Amino acid sequence: MGAATIPDKVKLFAAITFAPEARIAEVTSALARSFGSVDFSYGPVPFDFTDYYGDEMGRGLRKMYLTFETPAEREALSGVKVFTNDLECRYAAKGRRAVNIDPGYIAADKLVLASTKDFYHRVYLSQGIFAEVTLHYRKGIYRFFSWTFPDYREPAFLEFLQRVRARYVKTAREARESRRG
């Protein structure tokens, strides 16, 4: 029988798809107020991998990716997704979203995203929120699955994640050592 252990805290992550008219600076400020200072960012870059958001959010979408300095407990993810859903509603206009926020976390071995949609590869957390391992880290690189979104497979994005992961691993190691005393 294995012994239950408390895992390391994780680095919160947010992928933000937004329309040209979105008040993105306000959105990122609201995220930072709730989750801590932004320590890494990538983008904005054109989001042209899919037309999924086109009917609701229009054309010319952009996407940016942020991580937050303050470590978080893994079980906080469902509450984070509920908060970001509320934030999307707050910045909507005329019943249409201007931003879509996909929160998640980065651990040493994976990138996990939160979703309101159930599917065979997602696990229910709480509050109507599911979790998906979107990328896993093995043998020095991030690897994707058949369900991994195309933008998460992009080499420039994966390089960004490598930098974030390097800082996360160092910080997690230091936290473990300080707990040991």
pTM: 0.94
Q: What is the mean pLDDT of residues 36-61?
A: 90
∠127-66-83 over CA atoms, to 5°?
Answer: 25
Provide the 3-class DSSP secondary structure of residue 7.
coil
Domains and CATH numbers, the chain: 10-180 (3.30.70.260)
Dihedral angle, C-alpha 92, 135, 148, 5, nearest 10 °: -70
pLDDT tens-digit series, residues 115-174:
999 999 999 999 999 999 999 999 999 999 999 999 999 999 999 999 999 999 998 888
pLDDT tens-digit series, residues 108-122:
999 999 999 999 999
